[in-house]
């Protein structure tokens, strides 16, 4: 798509050790010094807006618009979100464990842009990022960050859940309005950025909007991190936005000929046949147009043979059903029912007649998007694996049902606080 380009946020990362402060400076240079003023930094916000950066946590909301809204509020709070709830994502932890200083730079830039004082960084309890971020923070004087460990649950990384946890409650999503940009941490207008977004902001502050837009898609510019799972394993890659799904997978050695279906956007994402997925550009608008979503840059590619997409989808559905927050009836009743229906089809070839009705009535009736995402994943599995479903229903489950599962699902965490 874009001709010559170099890795940006992953620059200098090599091996398993985090870059030291000096090594980080040698790769990226210093953050431009700005006189500490009072209130929001209008020039910086304009630059972020001009860059066209979209949030990298999954929703793809413009980072500049967030900064402008929150920067206009009184005594805003800033939260870096490194709680990578999606089991098929690894980019955030990779970034925090390999170049923690870039994430801290991003927090410094964000705090400065909105005129805040202190920043919070949330990561999963027990994550290796706790040690690397804490160590990096000790080397720094330019930014005050409080690091928090929150429960490693699927819905707990949703921003309203993060805010509720920071306010002393359970890490469960809350009802909007009010949005966190109006009333968030300690009741203040709050800006929550994913840690990759922070890293991108750290580079925009150094090199400017024009530099940022020089690679990637015209409307959704820059580079993006992908977490790619293929039969060969899982890897994080940085690609220009707009790169096709096929190109990203081929770079991992996953050829079209050997490819099966692709799950785009994570466990919360959309199954697509390789034919549909292969030439799709990795942008939010293209994915939406194809009935999917880019999510947090997650690609999961099944092989053509040996793995049953239906049983993989059923296992993910069961996992997502168990990860509901127990708050909203349509979700905590509907998702287990859907997961049981999909599992019955995958393992016993039994068709649950209520499935299609559930798929239409469950979405959009929760406080957060959890039921919507899970429903979309299940609906797309049923259409993408329609042929397999037919065979399961007529001849019983396939041999791959008993094979070792390809996609891991984490054991459920037990607490919300």
Distance of closest approach, residue 338 Cβ to another protein, in angstroms: 13
Could you give phi then psi for residue 236, rounded to 5 degrees?
-100, 135
Contact region with another protein (CB under 8 A), list: 263-271, 302-310, 328-336, 394-402 = 328-336
Among 327, 340, 391, 393, binds another protein (CB under 8 A): 327
Residue 330 within binding range of another protein, rule CB under 8 A: yes
Is residue 176 close enough to count as binding another protein by CB under 8 A?
no
The reply to whether 167 sits near another protein by the rule CB under 8 A is no
Q: Interacting stretch for another protein, rule CB under 8 A, among 73-81, 84-92, 314-322, 327-335?
A: 327-335
The span from the CA of 81 to the CA of 83, in Å, is: 6
Nearer to another protein, 179 or 231 (CB): 179
> In angstroms, what is the minimal distance from the CB of 162 to another protein?
17
Compute the least distance from the CB of residue 355 to another protein, in Å: 13
Minimum separation from the CB atom of position 158 to another protein (A): 13
- Which residue among 113, 156, 157, 174 contacts another protein (CB under 8 A)? 174
10, 96, 129, 331: which one binds another protein (CB under 8 A): 331
Q: How far is the CB of 369 from another protein (least distance, A)?
A: 12
End-to-end CA distance of the chain: 45
Q: Which of 2, 214, 333, 347 binds another protein (CB under 8 A)?
A: 333
Contact flag: residue 85 with another protein (CB under 8 A) = no
CA distances from 145 to 190, 197, 201 (A): 15, 17, 17
Exactly one of 175, 218, 232, 289 binds another protein (CB under 8 A); that residue is: 175
> How far apart are the C-alpha atoms of 41 and 109, rounded to whole Å?
10
Nearer to another protein, 171 or 205 (CB): 171
367 is a site residue for another protein (CB under 8 A): yes
Q: In angstroms, give the least distance from the CB of 179 to another protein.
A: 15
The CA–CA distances, whole Å, from 306 to 273, 274, 390, 407 equal: 16, 16, 18, 13
Decide if 191 contacts 67 (C-beta within 8 A).
Answer: yes
Which C-beta is closer to another protein: that of 311 or that of 331? 331
User: Interface with another protein includes 179 (CB under 8 A)?
Assistant: no
Is 127 an interacting residue with respect to another protein (CB under 8 A)? no
336 in contact with another protein (CB under 8 A): no
- Please tell me whether residue 373 binds another protein under the rule CB under 8 A: no
Residues near another protein, by CB under 8 A: 174-175, 327-331, 333-334, 354, 361, 365-367
């Amino acid at each position: 798509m874009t001709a010559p380009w170099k890795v940006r946020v992953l620059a200098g990362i090599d091996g398993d050790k985090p870059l030291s402060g000096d090594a980080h400076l040698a790769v990226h240079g210093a953050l431009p010094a700005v006189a500490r003023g009072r209130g929001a930094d209008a020039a910086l916000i304009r630059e972020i807006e001009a860059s066209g950066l979209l949030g990298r946590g999954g929703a793809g909301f413009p980072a500049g618009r967030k900064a402008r809204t929150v920067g206009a509020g009184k005594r805003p709070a800033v939260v870096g979100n490194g709680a990578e709830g999606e089991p098929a994502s690894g980019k955030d932890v990779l970034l925090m464990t390999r170049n923690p200083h870039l994430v801290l730079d991003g927090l410094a830039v964000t705090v400065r842009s909105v005129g805040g004082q202190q920043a919070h960084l949330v990561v999963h309890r027990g994550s290796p990022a706790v040690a690397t971020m804490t160590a990096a923070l000790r080397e720094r004087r330019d930014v005050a960050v409080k690091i928090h460990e929150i429960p490693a649950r699927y819905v707990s990384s949703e921003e309203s859940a993060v805010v509720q946890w920071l306010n002393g409650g359970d890490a469960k999503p809350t009802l909007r309005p009010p949005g966190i940009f109006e009333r968030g941490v300690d009741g203040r207008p709050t800006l929550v950025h994913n840690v990759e977004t922070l890293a991108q902001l750290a580079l925009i502050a150094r090199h400017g909007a024009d530099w940022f837009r020089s690679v990637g898609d015209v409307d959704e510019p820059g580079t993006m991190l992908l977490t790619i799972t293929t039969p060969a394993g899982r890897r994080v890659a940085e690609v220009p936005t707009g790169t096709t799904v096929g190109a990203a997978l081929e770079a991992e050695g996953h050829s079209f000929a050997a490819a099966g279906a692709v799950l785009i956007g994570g466990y919360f994402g959309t199954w697509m046949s390789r034919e549909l997925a292969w030439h799709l550009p990795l942008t939010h608008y293209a994915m939406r147009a194809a009935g999917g979503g880019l999510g947090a840059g997650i690609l999961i590619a099944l092989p053509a043979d040996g793995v049953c997409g239906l049983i993989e989808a059923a296992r993910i559905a069961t996992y997502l059903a168990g990860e509901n927050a127990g708050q909203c009836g349509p979700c905590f009743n509907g998702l287990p029912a859907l997961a049981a229906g999909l599992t019955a089809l995958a393992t016993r070839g039994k068709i649950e007649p209520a499935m299609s009705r559930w798929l239409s009535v469950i979405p959009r009736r929760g406080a957060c998007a959890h039921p919507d995402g899970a429903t979309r994943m299940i609906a797309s599995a049923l259409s993408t694996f329609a042929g397999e479903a037919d065979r399961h229903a007529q001849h019983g489950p396939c041999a791959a049902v008993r094979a070792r599962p390809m996609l891991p699902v984490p054991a459920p965490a037990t607490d919300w606080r």
